[in-house]
Amino acid sequence: MIEILDTAGQEEYTALRNQWIRDAEGFVIVYSIHSRTSFIRCHRFINQIRRVKEMHPLSYSGLSTALQGIENDCSPIMLVGHDYIEDEEVESRGTWGRQVSWEEGNALARELGCEYVEACAKTCVNVEKAFYDVVRELRKQRAAASNKPQAMLGISGASTRSRAMPAISE
């Protein structure tokens, strides 16, 4: 089972966010490609996830340095640039005031060690991909974790149980 928790625009629940993060195993961080402010806020959310999960915190300017030597010590995170529109729509409507380029989003995701996709809920472009990829990564992590002790004991087959996966967006 997958539980999706959308916290966008619900500042009154900020006090509960740490508990939601503690209980979650994967994260989808969504920002608007039309808002540089929401893009910059992704750092705050990812730092909060890392702090609550007792992972390495990241600074805005030193992301690559902070990630050196860290391997799979974090829950899977998908960074999503929302409100992507198809090329033919860009030509007919213009860029709609795009403030964050695909290259910037992808570069940030690489620095954070996570995946990146641009999606549009209105046209259903890459929406499922964002969630499926996080679930696939969770399954890989579980398989790797369960294979280590089982391989040593000669046990096969593992039971999996899903936890909440908040979709944190601005």
Question: Does 138 fall in a domain?
Answer: yes
Question: Does 55 fall in a domain?
Answer: yes
The pLDDT of residue 33: 94
Question: Does 162 fall in a domain?
Answer: no
**Domain coverage including residue 140:** 16-60+73-145
Question: Does 7 fall in a domain?
Answer: no
At 135, the amino acid letter reads V
- Rounded Cα distance between 79 and 95, Å, is 21
Question: Does 152 fall in a domain?
Answer: no
> Residue 140, SS3?
helix
Written as six digits, the tokens of 51 are 């702090």
The pLDDT of residue 22: 87
The pLDDT of residue 83: 87
Question: Does 168 fall in a domain?
Answer: no
Which residues lie across from 27 on neighbouring strands?
A: 77
Q: How many domains does the chain have?
A: 1
At 147, the amino acid letter reads N
CATH number at residue 130: 3.40.50.300
The pLDDT of residue 67: 38
Question: Does 83 fall in a domain?
Answer: yes
Question: Does 4 fall in a domain?
Answer: no
In a structure prediction context, what are the per-residue pLDDT tens digits for the chain, which is 170 residues long? 677 777 766 666 677 888 888 888 899 999 999 999 999 988 888 888 888 887 644 544 444 333 333 344 578 999 999 986 655 555 555 556 889 999 999 999 988 778 999 999 888 999 999 999 999 999 998 888 888 654 444 444 443 344 445 555 55
Burial zone of 112 (CB within 10 Å; 0-12 exposed, 13-18 middle, 19+ buried): buried
What pTM was computed for the model? 0.69
